Structure 1
Amino acid sequence: MDLTPYVDNLRQELAVAANAGGDEARALAERLTAPLESAARLTLLNALSAAMGEVTRELAPGSVDVRLRGLDPEFVVTQPSVPEPFQEARAPLAGPAAPVPSPPPADADDGAMARINFRLPAHLKSRAESAATAEGLSVNAWLVRAVSLALDGKERPGPSARGTDSGGRGFTGWVR
């Protein structure tokens, strides 16, 4: 979503208001428009983030996240997973049963993501945040790795290429 038209509209409204105050007010408004642009963008991002929080509450278990790409926000909609329809088990009529495919290995990354709400005591949260920061990870990435280690007894492969810029640095977190 391009915020530039909204910021430009705010700049024009400030100029119109300044015209009513005379030459000094007009000169002051011209000097203030450049520094106010970043504040206006941040305020718009805060409003969008709050709006998407309300939308997410209505869509639960689906969600809408606001991600910042350069100067412009991007909306990411996560649909709730659709449960498979119930099928009654039937006895085979004759012959051997078809082989049941084995589940994928636990360390396979098929790209599918699931969202959970996780509550933990404040003292554990602060310790997890400290550990994640010390390793240069987001809390989410650190928790995914910790769960993987606990379940598999080994570390998952390194970070995926998703969410990185051309310099190879990853971007994670929430925008408010």
Structure 2
Amino acid sequence: MELTPYVESLRGSLASAGNAAADEVRDAAERLSYAVEPSLRLTLLEALGDAAAEVTAQLDGVVVDVRLRGGQPELVADEVAVPPAAPAAPQPPQPPAPPEPDEGTSRVSLRLPETLKVKVEEVAAAEGMSVNAWLIRAVTHALEPAPAPRRATTGRRITGWVR
């Protein structure tokens, strides 16, 4: 963003104001317009920084920064990386829901490798469940639809400089 047109506009305004006065005032207004240029540029940068902060506050997941390149300010919008959501606390083991009163049960013969069977027995015992109840819960869990992913939100990031 080029700041020169704004500086020139202020110079023109001061020159116009000075034209209505004596020659000494006109010369003073012209000298003053050159003297205030650094302060005006700094004030414009501060206004751009404030505008970027307001836009950032209104956008979700985007940070707007003011960067100087070659003495010229640029407004840059960056997406904020959303940190992964913290893993949910482990749920206590839930026994399988009891079948409906009129629902019958079926018998399934399941063949497992011996090492897997031993692991299932150990995990079920550690959770205080029978192998049958643990397997019913595992199958029920596997058949449930996956929960919709949740988007984690973070606080606002503020960057910049101070004088």
TM-score normalised by the chain length of structure 2: 0.49
- Structure of greater Rg: 2
TM-score normalised by the chain length of structure 1: 0.46
